[in-house]
Amino acid sequence: MLILVRLIGIVIVGMGVTFLLSPKLYRRYMAFWEQGRRLYSGGILSILIGVVLLLAASGCKLVGVILTLGILCLVKGIMLTLGQEKMKSMLKWWQGRSLLALRLIALIAIAFGALLLYSA
């Protein structure tokens, strides 16, 4: 299970670095998710990540942090699957933010990914 947590951390850091270097790519990434029913897939993926984090938490260094992130992923997944229209409007709102704001979000993603890597 810890290997999955590390893998999730690596993917999050990689995406954060990519979006930090190219925030316009981040806008295209958000546009990808708002098409059709892709948010359902994203919601299910988020729920699965939350379950992995919750199951792996007992073997991690920072149990409370991993439990919290797992719960947040579950909540996010439920919100994505139940509130499609609201989430699509939020994605459109984020796409309109400045490149600096998108870079700051990418830095936050890098921090979360690094925290997962450290905890696992």
- pLDDT for 67-104, tens place per residue? 999 999 999 898 888 877 888 888 888 888 899 999 99
pTM attached to this predicted model = 0.85
Q: Shortest CA distance to 26 belongs to which of 72, 79, 94, 81?
A: 94
Domains in the chain, number: 1
pLDDT-above-70 percentage for the chain: 100
Domain that holds residue 48: 2-119
CA pair distance 91, 79, nearest whole angstrom: 13
User: What's the pLDDT score for residue 95?
Assistant: 86
Region 7-29: mean pLDDT is 94
